[in-house]
A = this chain, B = another copy of it.
Amino acid sequence: MFSIPTIRATAHAALSAQLQHKLNQLTKPVGALGELERVALRIGLMQQSTSPQIREPQLVIFAGDHGLARLGASAYPQDVTWQMVLNMLGGGAAANVLARQHGIGFAVLDCGVAHNFDAHPKLIQGKIAHGTQASSGGTAMSAAQCDEALALGARTVTALPGNCFIAGEMGIGNTAAASLMTARLLQLPIAECTGRGTGLDDAGLARKIALLELALKAHSATEAKAVLAAFGGFEIAAMTGAYLQAASQARMILVDGFICTAALLVAARLNPAVLDYCIFTHRSSEPGHLALLKALHAKPLLELGMRLGEGSGALAAYPLVQSALLLLQEMASFESAGVSGQTA
């Protein structure tokens, strides 16, 4: 069973003032590093330190299949999920390239792919079932499976080294699941929360919206965990559990795109303090993501029109987070460098 972890809220007026003072003493005009200063300050609060650091950052790709994909919710066949998992284990996916570039640890967590994998050093076997049920019929998963997935995510994070957690996801059909969760949890029309996913054309998008309308009508759930079970995916539920656990361990969380943010919204409904540990890294071109970011009052670091998943946006933004901490740590102060202050 999964019990919601306790999370320490990061608000701390004295430490916040100390961090701001340290930032203001650096040889630059006050605030001239923009968002990077805010990132440094927030991570200082997460780590309760005026010298916050990243140690052994970790990417986990949460993989799972979706019943709705078999009904045409995606531009790609469901087999692409397991094929892409193998591609990731082979090092050939975008996430691999970016994780290597930045020295980020990498693993794939099978939460519920409709395929049996051989053992692999980078694969964590956590399969709950061979994909979810189509939510246009019954619930995507049972309440027990949902709890199992939440616990799987939490357990996986607990076993990770380091203090920086990045979730990525792979699951054909999971933008459909995220759209449903977003529409229900934020009480928005499904069309406002639904995009082309991996690349549907106009007709495909219209079919997807019609299918999601049906699914939405099939369930009355509004409570976060019930919505997750009704519409979500095993990889989404596992990410929800992972985010809660990461925050409870005071790890910084780099939040990727639409599907990750949908998982995070559920986490935030279960324990809002999880948001204190989140750095939003990119804004996806999926329309549902914008709605989620607005609801969470989040302004991501990047807006590059990316819509790949796999944690790719968070990975792309990672060096900016690193920059923020290095600047706080390594820049000279006006005093130490003998530079004059502001006159006007």
**Which residues does chain B contribute within 8 Å of A223, judged by CB atoms?**
none
Say yes or no: A199-B285 contact (C-beta < 8 A), given A79-B340, A93-B332, A337-B87.
no
Say yes or no: A199-B29 contact (C-beta < 8 A), given A77-B340, A302-B302, A331-B92.
yes
Residue of B nearest to A197 (CB): B29
Contact A344 B72 (CB under 8 A): yes
Say yes or no: A97-B33 contact (C-beta < 8 A), given A27-B87, A338-B86.
no
Q: Once the chains are docked, how many angstroms separate the CA of A48 from the CA of B342?
A: 47
Nearest CB of B to A150, in Å: 29
A26, A34, A79 — most chain B CB neighbours (10 Å): A34
Q: Once the chains are docked, how many angstroms separate the CA of A153 from the CA of B320?
A: 29
Q: Once the chains are docked, how many angstroms separate the CA of A344 from the CA of B100?
A: 32
Q: Does A322 reach chain B (CB closer than 8 Å)?
A: yes
Contact B306 A32 (CB under 8 A): yes
Q: Does A36 reach chain B (CB closer than 8 Å)?
A: yes
Residue of B nearest to A102 (CB): B319
**Which residues does chain B contribute within 8 Å of A341, judged by CB atoms?**
76
Q: Does A192 reach chain B (CB closer than 8 Å)?
A: no
Query: Within the complex, which residue of B27, B31, B199 is in contact with A84, where a contact is CB–CB below 8 Å?
Result: B27
User: What are 25 A-to-B residue pairs whose CB atoms are below 8 Å?
Assistant: A29-B75, A29-B307, A29-B308, A31-B199, A33-B94, A34-B305, A35-B304, A74-B344, A76-B340, A76-B342, A76-B344, A77-B343, A87-B339, A90-B332, A92-B331, A94-B327, A97-B327, A100-B330, A101-B319, A102-B319, A198-B342, A199-B342, A303-B303, A316-B323, A319-B320
Binding site for B on A (CB under 8 A): 26-36, 72, 74-77, 79-80, 83-84, 86-87, 90, 92-94, 96-98, 100-102, 198-201, 204, 285, 301-308, 312, 316, 319-320, 322-323, 326-327, 330-332, 336-344
